[in-house]
Amino acid sequence: MGLTWLKNFLDACTDCTIDCLSIHWYNPATLASDLKNHVSQAITLGAGKPVYVSEFGATGSDAEISSFLEDVMPWMDSQSAVEGYAYFMVSDGRLLSGNVPSSYGATYANFS
């Protein structure tokens, strides 16, 4: 999921100016603890730099994804190093159902 690459890059780029880290995460909605672990590892790698979860997405039923969002979004909000996050792909069949939020799109909108 990119953290090994990120660590190798940060280790090799000793003279670089890095303002923030951007990470992605995609997995089943049943793996909320995996997202939290992934973000926590990025925060540690960043050593005080802001972390953006610029894309994250979960697979599963609408109810599973809603439950996942209800768990992980408040958790990310509580992490001072997480400057922002965005769910992957605002499109019909994901966060939208036609022109209105899908069931888990409504959950996302209520927390963001």
Q: Is 5 within the bounds of a domain? A: no
| Number of domain units in the chain | 1
Q: Is 7 within the bounds of a domain? A: no
Q: Residue 27 sits in which domain range?
A: 21-111
- % of the chain exceeding 90 in pLDDT: 74
**pLDDT level of residue 100 (50, 70, 90 thresholds):** confident
Q: Is 98 within the bounds of a domain? A: yes
- List, in sequence order, every residue forming a beta bridge with 59; answer none if it has no partner: 28
Q: Is 95 within the bounds of a domain? A: yes
DSSP for the chain reads: --HHHHHHHHHH-TT-----EEEEEEEEGGGHHHHHHHHHHHHHHHTT--EEEEEEEEES-HHHHHHHHHHHHHHHHH-TTEEEEEES--SBTTTEETTEE-HHHHHHHHH-
pLDDT tens track for 10-62 = 999 989 999 999 999 999 999 999 999 999 999 999 988 999 999 999 999 99
Q: State the pLDDT at residue 57.
A: 95
Q: Is 42 within the bounds of a domain? A: yes
Q: State the pLDDT at residue 1.
A: 53
Q: Is 87 within the bounds of a domain? A: yes
Q: State the pLDDT at residue 24.
A: 95
- % of the chain exceeding 70 in pLDDT: 98
Angle of CA points 58, 49, 110, to nearest 5°: 40
Q: State the pLDDT at residue 93.
A: 75
**Residues 68, 60 contacting (CB under 8 angstroms):** yes
